[in-house]
Structure 1
Amino acid sequence: MLTDLEEKRGRLRQESHAIGDRHSQLNAEASKWAERRNELNRATEGLIERAKSFKKLRDESNKNVAQSKKKRDECNENIKQLYVKIEDLQKKHNPTGERSIRDLSREIDHLEFRQQTEVLSPEKEKQLVDKISALRAEFKGRKEQLEKSEDMKKLLDQAQALRDQASTYHNQVTRFAQLAQEYHDQMICSFKEADQTRAEADAAQKEFLKAQ
């Protein structure tokens, strides 16, 4: 009888130890998953903040694009008005009906745009470059002729200064637009990473609950 009780007590002690060991194991497992979950949540928060900072930079760049576009368009409008005055004066100094300096300027701009944006064969590109060079020479000659008039020289100088400003603003538009796209891409990437770490944190939370 005593032996049976001792055996029973021994079995209960073993079961108690086993339960205690299992409980400790589950606690350790739960702690591990809780730590992993917290780590992933912190990473998610960091990625979201990073994405927000890229969004702010993108929005600022887009704002700069709009401002530079506005200034560029204002310059172009002022150039247009100046060329109206230039053409009026040119008619007085150009009774032979030669091409206006404005027409030459427009054609040069158009051909330069083609040169920058179109894929041309070497022969076609050489023809285009030669034509641009010829037009520039004609433009220079017409400008020098017109600049003999003090009023005309003043208008041409103003027009050139505005063209330079418009070109600067156009370059700013391009640069800020590129930056805005880069910041946008980085923002999207950060949000995607945040979604991934959030999903991993949710999975860690499920494992934590299982170990409870």
Structure 2
Amino acid sequence: MSVEELQNRREHLQEKIGEAKQKRDRLNQKTRELKQKKYDIAHRIKEAKEEGIRHKEKRDEINERVASIKEKRKEYNEQHRDLKKEAEALRKEYLPQETPIEVLKDRKQKLEFKQMTQQLSKKAEQSLVEDLKELTRKIKARKKILEENPELREIIEKQKRMKEKGDKAHEKVKELAERAQDHHVKMIDAFNQSDELYKDLKKVQKEYVLARLDADKAHKKMVSYVKEIRDVEDEIKDIKHQEKRDEMQEKRSAIQEEADDVYERFKKGEKLSTEDFMLLQKAGLI
């Protein structure tokens, strides 16, 4: 291959080096960006998991409180039922032949509903009103008898307090259950977010590995071009050195030939000029 061809090859390789370097640098930049993206996603995964764990711990803590309050509510309700039975027994003891007050209240409630919902004749309306008055009187009378009994009154007060405690415990259970459910939903959302982010991380990781491999390939390609261009430059140098040696050899041959002619003239006894002597000396003939 001639020097000109090698020089053209060198120029072509220099262009290839530039292209490979640009590609490598572009891919290295992409790799750095993907590495940062991986770090950001991993950080968000960590935050989402920690948030999910916090909500889980809160939910479990509240559920423990719910279980404890449910036990208390159960105790209150059981005590309320026992007191109610005790009160009923005392009522029957003090009013054995009378209609139970609960039955009277039920009758009164039904009559009031009938009065509000049905169209009655004047006579029927008047009869219903009289019945309501009588029921009200009987209820008040029984209440008075029962309330005047200290033992029964104390039991009724205890029953009332137990019911209030049971109702409060029930409301607290509802409130805490809602809070626990809220933390449960947020926990699920956080863990779902973590799972989705992990899927994103796997995609970015794959993209990162491919970009890094492509960057390595581009770098190796550039290095191979650099090595090849050095080989081409060495070839050019060798050719130029050889050309120079050939040129010098040609010059030496021409000088030697001319010197041989002068030397032959010298041997024949011809008169030589200063330049002729210098030529003989240069050729090593004198």
Please identify, of 1-10 and 156-165, the stretch whose mean Cα deviation from structure 2 is larger.
Answer: 1-10
Matching residue of 1:171:
171
Matching residue of 1:156:
156
Contact 1:62–1:180 (Cα < 8 Å) also in 2: yes
**Structure 2: distance between partners of 1:143 and 1:159:** 16
4+ residue stretches of structure 1 with deviation over 6 A?
A: none
The superposition leaves residues 52-107 of structure 1 with CA deviations (integer Å, 9 ceiling, x where unpaired) of: 11111111221122111111110111112222321222122212332256x899x8
Letter of the 1:199 partner, please give it: K
Matching residue of 1:65:
66
Query: TM-score of the superposition, structure 2-length normalised?
Result: 0.59
Please identify, of 202-211 and 171-180, the stretch whose mean Cα deviation from structure 2 is larger.
Answer: 171-180
**Structure 2: distance between partners of 1:104 and 1:188:** 54
Q: CA deviation at 1:205?
A: 0.4
Contact 1:87–1:100 (Cα < 8 Å) also in 2: no
**Structure 2: distance between partners of 1:76 and 1:30:** 67
Q: CA deviation at 1:10?
A: 1.3
Matching residue of 2:145:
145
Alignment map for 1:188-203 (pairs within 5 Å): 188-203=188-203
**Structure 1: distance between partners of 2:3 and 2:165:** 107
**Structure 2: distance between partners of 1:98 and 1:169:** 34
Matching residue of 1:14:
15
Letter of the 2:48 partner, please give it: L
Please identify, of 64-73 and 158-167, the stretch whose mean Cα deviation from structure 2 is larger.
Answer: 64-73
**Structure 2: distance between partners of 1:97 and 1:59:** 53
Letter of the 1:65 partner, please give it: V
CA distance 1:42–1:144, shift in 2 (3 Å): farther
Q: CA deviation at 1:7?
A: 1.6
CA distance 1:208–1:100, shift in 2 (3 Å): same
Alignment map for 1:91-106 (pairs within 5 Å): 91-99=92-100
CA distance 1:205–1:99, shift in 2 (3 Å): same
**Structure 2: distance between partners of 1:143 and 1:24:** 96
Unpaired segments of 5 or more residues in structure 2?
A: 107-112, 118-131, 213-286
The superposition leaves residues 36-67 of structure 1 with CA deviations (integer Å, 9 ceiling, x where unpaired) of: 11111111111111111111111122112211
Unpaired segments of 5 or more residues in structure 1?
A: 108-122, 128-133
CA distance 1:23–1:194, shift in 2 (3 Å): same
The answer to whether 1:23 aligns with 2:24 is: yes
CA distance 1:104–1:9, shift in 2 (3 Å): farther
Aligned length: 186
**Structure 2: distance between partners of 1:65 and 1:104:** 39
Matching residue of 2:4:
3
Alignment map for 1:54-93 (pairs within 5 Å): 54-93=55-94
Contact 1:44–1:197 (Cα < 8 Å) also in 2: yes
Letter of the 1:68 partner, please give it: I
Query: TM-score of the superposition, structure 1-length normalised?
Result: 0.78
Q: Which structure exhibits the higher relative contact order, with contacts defined as CA atoms closer than 8 Å and separated by 6 or more residues?
A: 1
**Structure 1: distance between partners of 2:4 and 2:89:** 127
CA distance 1:143–1:21, shift in 2 (3 Å): farther
